[in-house]
Amino acid sequence: MAYPYAHDSEVRVLSTHFGEPEARTLAGWQNRGGYEALRKALGMAPDEVVEVVKSSGLRGRGGAGFPTGVKWSFMPKDDSRQPHYLLINADESEPGAFKDRELLRWTPHQVIEGALIGAHAIRAKHVYIYMRGEFFEPAQIVGRAIEEVYAAGIAGPDMMGSGVGIDITLHLGAGAYICGEETALMNSLEGRRGQPRIKPPFPAVVGAFGKPTTINNVETVAAVPHIVKHGGDWYRQWGTEKSPGTKLFNMSGHLVRRGNYELPLGFSLKELIYDVCGGIRDGRSLKAVIPGGSSVPILAADEIDIAMDYESVAAAGTMLGTASVIVMDDRTNMVKQVRRMVDFYAHESCGQCTPCREGTAWLARILRRIENGYGRMEDLDQLLELGANMTGTTICVLSDSAAAPVASSIAKFKDEYLALIRRGESAAVAV
Amino acid sequence: MANEQQDTVNITLNGVEAAVPKNLRIIEAAEQLGVGIAHYCYHPGLSAPAMCRMCLVEVEGAPKLAPACVTPVAEGQVIHTESERARQAREGTLEFYLLNHPLDCPICDKSGECKLQDYTHAEGRKHGRSIEPKRVNGQDDFGGDILYDGDRCIMCTRCVRFMRELPQDDRLCVVQRGHRSVIDTFYDHGVEGNIWAGNIVDICPVGALLSKDFLHKARVWDLDGNASICPNCSQGCNIRIDSRDNLAVRLRPRSNADVNSYWMCDYGRHRYEWLNVADRVEAPLVRGENGQLQATSWQKAILALLEQVRAAQAGGAEVTVIGSPFYGNEDNGMLARLATMLGGGSMTFRVEQADEEVVMPGFPRLARRRDLAANVRGLEVMGFSRADGAPASAGGIVIALGDVLDGAPEDFAVSADLFIAITPKMTATVRGADFVLPAATFAEAEGTFTNHEGRVQRFWPALQPPPLARPAWQVLGVIMAGMEEGGTAPATAGDAFLRLGDWHTEFSGLSYDVIGSRGALINDTVQLPAGAGRGS
């Protein structure tokens, strides 16, 4: 079953079994080669597993793109500060992102297998899957899959007769965007308010419950079984030197064929939009693209001739992020679009740091005023100045994320702001 | 020397190189070097969440500004607190703070001692740029003495962290998130019943937490006051007595790491009205030939008193002195000495006792002690013994200090040959005295208290006594000087204190200089280990 659209350019590693309901069951997953990689990994020393993942060049898929093997190697090698924890960040809440949800819905065992391998690699005795509170269906599916692996002796005290014991627990959040930030996630998991912690100390030193902890994204650990099974060089056949492998691209917005497409990193954004997704719907033309989820700067229509890998997107002044591409056609009101995103950040700000708590709400109010025709010329400079005061002055980057689309939209779509402000001014004169 | 090098690091702060102890955070190191760094959420007695973002400083080599309250000093660190970036960040953050702040300083109790006011005046923008409507959170009654004004709140969470970390009684929390955050209580009774809750008003950097007792009572710039010691139990918390028009209006803690950290209890905090003594004895009163008390000068009163003391002494009168745990070591020490000079006799004092100690779990050295007066230990050291019940009438010479005769029978004085009351306050019992000498209260004089663990601590006059009232040590000193050939009275409280060392070895070697502002232990005292509570 094609899910929901397929394209010949796709390289399906993680998404091979999307749309196959029987792949959700343990038997179905094992028929598809599941848990062979885990058996192989359990026969290896933890450091060997880390080396394989290092050699693959796999980079974190949660947005920052930090090399996974390197991250694992930060964990203490001795067992003096046990237990270690592996947290799987399944709090996918970035507007535009819907890759983890599909991985969890269709291939729960792929995620669990990757998580157990990761836990073995960092000598963790417990894996927590921290799942977004609104993910009812994925939570049911993953919960059932966890029961299955315990019943089959794949997780638990003596996994597959290897003598290694790792527990796995599903934890549902309460629906806060900020809990996808790794330190806020740890706070939430511990039963505290979901507020980011100050770093340092970093999680590999003082993490969940005060113990050494690694946090990995769902898509990251989903790739791990394949890498362990086939080796690092096999994974490097796709993608670029610095951004190897495949990646799920979550395509949304005014496209003909929206959805998840698994493609090698470095794939052309232009081709992705016009070929893979069939172009802009209703015969409209492209106005703007957000390439990596709502937190990253916007690209104008003439800036999309770039390769979708971490370095190339960064060189274009934005970020690959979660590769959640939001495409906007020529009818889009950019001011309204940005205001809605800023509203989201104002709603989701945890409220700890003053620049974020007050700044996000202030930006939203100014933008709404402009949108409603009550804008003033000085508002634009003020928006940029507020954004600057919100950038780099807070514990986490939510504040920066709220300011980024404002700044980039003013830089690239100033005319739309000016039109709204002038319309408001002329209306005022007419009255 | 090598050891010393290991314990310090060299930093450059605003161009000045200095060696500071390692393990310090930048904000603490800067304070030691005399550089203040603006802050709201940081408080030296609490954990630091680094969330107010006021203390951001530029550390060379770091990509972002660093919060000084959590960033440790490091060897070779170059810090700028006044660079353009740091200053711009503070100005920007201050603008965010004022965005929804009601700016109702004219009716705010905190006005004048408000950090938002101070920093905004120092470094904020001259004019606000926001034209958006302000967010309104409204007010809330937090129970007990505490009111919460959510509009003024800047969400520094000092109050939440205080309740969690010091009383270890989670009564407050942040509810909601983002710009909708407010501080709230879990139940309707709020902080009611927690004896430490009053501290959250002190540590609130703005006027969000208010004392109902102090509400609209005074503008803080109209307040006078001085450093003192809380008289209301034997813990001896370091406090400041704030007064307006010579009436005490509030007590607030002063920091002393050995005694009360930055805190005091509400039991002590709310018992300040008695410092504003009504029914003052305004002048020395002497019982005249007509049997009535008559006002006279100090000189005449003392001369008459000496004459009568000598006569009574010649008659072999027994001596009874009653000390007061609300008076200093100097006052009670002089009284004890006078008793000795008169041949010795009964020396007692009375103190009200609470049923139990109330220890602060997060700082167990601090507790509301059972003895509900400041100088119980001092009196015991000087040979006074604790007595129960109302003072019984006694014969011979009776000298009472302070209003210790409350509850005594009205005919208390009848059997006494000579009854001398040195007291600020006229009561029915005092009316029966032969001499009523107007004394200053501890709050009107300089002196020392000895707290439960034997720490001698200084207090300073915070209120003005009536013109003719004198410190009790001075009155007693003059009487004693008049009783011996060539006797001299102590000229100052410090002189009076030095004399205690001659009479009681516990005080020898101590002086006001030695005691300083943090207090000193008397000589028989074993130093308590840090953090140890005495009894529970």
Could you read off the pLDDT of B500-531 as tens digits, one per residue?
A: 999 999 999 999 999 999 999 998 654 444 44
- Among left, alpha and beta (phi > 0; psi -120 to 50; other), residue B490 is beta
- Chain A nearest-CA distance from B19, in A, is 24
Q: Which residues of B touch A (CB under 8 A)?
A: 49-54, 56, 63-65, 67, 70, 88-89, 92-93, 95-97, 99-100, 129-130, 132, 135, 154-155, 174, 176-181
What confidence score (pLDDT) does residue B454 get? 95
- Which two three-digit tokens encode residue B192? 């009611």
Q: Which residues of A touch B (CB under 8 A)?
A: 176, 178, 193, 198, 346-355, 357-362, 365-366, 369, 382, 385-386, 388-389, 392-395
Q: How far is CA A404 from CA A65, A355, B524, in A?
A: 19, 14, 67
For residue A359, the chain B residues in CB contact (below 8 A) are 96
This prediction has a pTM of 0.93
For residue B95, the chain A residues in CB contact (below 8 A) are 389
The answer to whether residues B391 and B410 touch, using CB atoms and an 8 Å cutoff, is: no
What confidence score (pLDDT) does residue B5 get? 53
Cβ-defined contact of A198 to B178 (cutoff 8 Å): no
Out of A360, A388, A393, whose CB is closest to B178?
A360
Beta strands A267-268 and A307-308 are antiparallel
Out of B49, B53, B177, whose CB is closest to A349?
B177
Res. B4: pLDDT tops 70: no
- Chain A nearest-CA distance from B245, in A, is 40
The answer to whether residues A248 and A16 touch, using CB atoms and an 8 Å cutoff, is: no
- Chain B nearest-CA distance from A351, in A, is 4
For residue A386, the chain B residues in CB contact (below 8 A) are 92
What confidence score (pLDDT) does residue B35 get? 96
Nearest residue to A398 (alpha-carbon basis) of A338, A366, A361, A350? A350
Out of A350, A361, A393, whose CB is closest to B53?
A393
Mutate to test the interface with A, among B91, B97, B131 (most CBs of A within 10 A): B131
Q: Is A364 helix (H, G, I), strand (E, B) or coil?
A: helix
pLDDT tens for B68-121 read 999 999 999 999 999 999 999 999 999 999 999 999 999 999 999 999 999 999
For residue B88, the chain A residues in CB contact (below 8 A) are 389
The answer to whether residues A119 and A87 touch, using CB atoms and an 8 Å cutoff, is: no
What confidence score (pLDDT) does residue B405 get? 75
Chain A / chain B CB contacts < 8 angstroms: 89
Cβ-defined contact of A355 to B53 (cutoff 8 Å): yes
Res. B349: pLDDT tops 60: yes
The tokens 């033309």 sit on which residue?
A285
- Chain A nearest-CA distance from B189, in A, is 23
The one-letter code for the residue type at B79 is: I
Q: How confident is the model at residue B534 (pLDDT cuts 50, 70, 90)?
A: very low
What confidence score (pLDDT) does residue A427 get? 66
What confidence score (pLDDT) does residue A428 get? 62
Residue of A nearest to B101 (CA): A358
Rounded mean pLDDT, B330-358: 95
Res. B428: pLDDT tops 90: no
What confidence score (pLDDT) does residue A2 get? 52
Res. B391: pLDDT tops 50: yes
Mutate to test the interface with A, among B26, B41, B129 (most CBs of A within 10 A): B129
Q: How far is CA A393 from CA A398, B56, B140, in A?
A: 11, 8, 31
Per-residue pLDDT of chain A (431 residues; tens, 9 = 90+): 456 788 999 999 999 999 999 999 999 999 999 999 999 999 999 999 999 999 999 999 999 999 999 999 999 998 888 899 999 999 999 999 999 999 999 999 999 999 999 999 999 999 999 999 999 999 999 999 999 999 999 999 999 999 999 999 999 999 899 999 999 999 999 999 999 999 999 999 999 999 999 999 999 999 999 999 999 999 999 999 999 999 999 999 999 999 999 999 999 999 999 999 999 999 999 999 999 999 999 999 999 999 999 999 999 999 999 999 999 999 999 999 999 999 999 999 999 999 999 999 999 999 999 999 999 999 999 999 999 999 999 999 999 999 999 999 999 999 999 999 998 777 665 54
What confidence score (pLDDT) does residue A431 get? 44
Mean pLDDT lowest among A169-183, A297-311, B301-315, B397-411: B397-411
Cβ-defined contact of A354 to B174 (cutoff 8 Å): no
Mutate to test the interface with B, among A353, A395, A400 (most CBs of B within 10 A): A353
Res. B466: pLDDT tops 60: yes
Mean pLDDT lowest among A87-96, A189-198, B204-213, B386-395: B386-395
- What is the largest distance, in Å, between two alpha-carbon atoms of chain A? 82
The neighbour count for residue B314, using CB atoms within 10 Å, is: 8
What confidence score (pLDDT) does residue B510 get? 95
The chain-wide mean pLDDT, for chain B, equals 93
